Amino acid sequence: MIKKMIEELIGSIMTEFGTTRGLATAYLIVSALVVIMAIVCAIMSVLVWFRYSRANKHGITNQMSGIDTCRFALDQAGLQHVKVRKSGFIRELFFGNYYNIYTKTIYLRSVFGKIDTKQSVTSTALALQKAGIAKLCEEGDRKAVIRNRLSIIALFGPILFIPFVIIGFVVDFFVLKTNGGIASYLGLGVGGLLLLIGLIVTFLNIPVERKGNEMALEMARDYGMANEEELQIMKKVFDAYIMQYICNFILEVLRVIEWVLRVVMAFNDKKD
């Protein structure tokens, strides 16, 4: 029964795109892998949130809030011009804890997973980590600068990919009265560019965040802001984040491959 279902799916893809069986099969496999990796990413997000929340309930010996910890670390690094603010609801919903390279401001969660005024292992860990990311950017670390400058586009890129593709086909079909014309290719092109930016950012997330994690643990030790037990809890939180970034990168790679296959099938259909 499963084999029959797969054959029907391949047949429908061949009919829809006017493509070969090989391309239709490849597209089906990659699309299935995209769904699987999306589920894995969702599971990793739950793991991150579990460790984040658990560590946020664990008090910190330095008895400093997230904002105070971040301010202290920035001042120690000579970054007095970098501001520290609590995130508003909308900003937190989309970005969480992050460093805005354009406004030179670190935003810390104040609603979900609150750490701005919290005195916890999580608040110390994330405050120091964001201070580390800010330091990397302000010192001109190339990967950190590129990642942070493109982060807004990368955040919405995967969400906007399908709408751009659909708009292109709709404009062709209803306005230009063509099937697979210039608007369709333009939609695929813009969507592909957004996916590519997302791929670049998710790739850079891994080395940049890892370096930020190392800097955070270093500062916590050097400044006497955490004992060994607290440092181990911080490391577990950071490790979960890195695993999530790796999964997100794999997902973005699969999305780009899926887009390439879609473009190839579209061009083949147009040529035929």
Six-digit token pair at 266?
Answer: 């579209």
- Torsion over CA of 46, 51, 55 and 56, rounded to 10 degrees? -10
3-state helix/strand/coil string of the chain: CHHHHHHHHHHHHHHHHCCCHHHHHHHHHHHHHHHHHHHHHHHHHHHHHHHHHHHHCCECCCCCCHHHHHHHHHHHCCCCCCEEEECCHHHHHHHCCEEECCCCEEEECCCCCCCCCCCEHHHHHHHHHHHHHHHHHHCCCHHHHHHHHHHHHHHHHHHHHHHHHHHHHHHHHHHCCCCCCHHHHHHHHHHHHHHHHHHHHHHHHHHHHHHHHHHHHHHHHHCCCCCHHHHHHHHHHHHHHHHHHHHHHHHHHHHHHHHHHHHHHHHHHHHC
pLDDT digit string (tens) for the chain, length 272 residues: 777 787 777 777 777 777 788 888 898 899 999 999 999 999 999 999 999 999 999 999 999 999 999 999 999 999 999 999 999 888 888 888 999 999 999 999 998 889 999 999 999 999 999 999 999 999 999 999 999 999 887 777 667 767 777 777 777 767 676 665 677 778 777 877 887 888 899 899 999 999 999 999 999 999 999 999 999 999 999 999 999 999 999 998 998 899 888 878 877 655 54
145: exposed, middle or buried (C-beta count within 10 Å: 0-12, 13-18, 19+)? Answer: middle
Per-residue tokens: 125: 């860990």
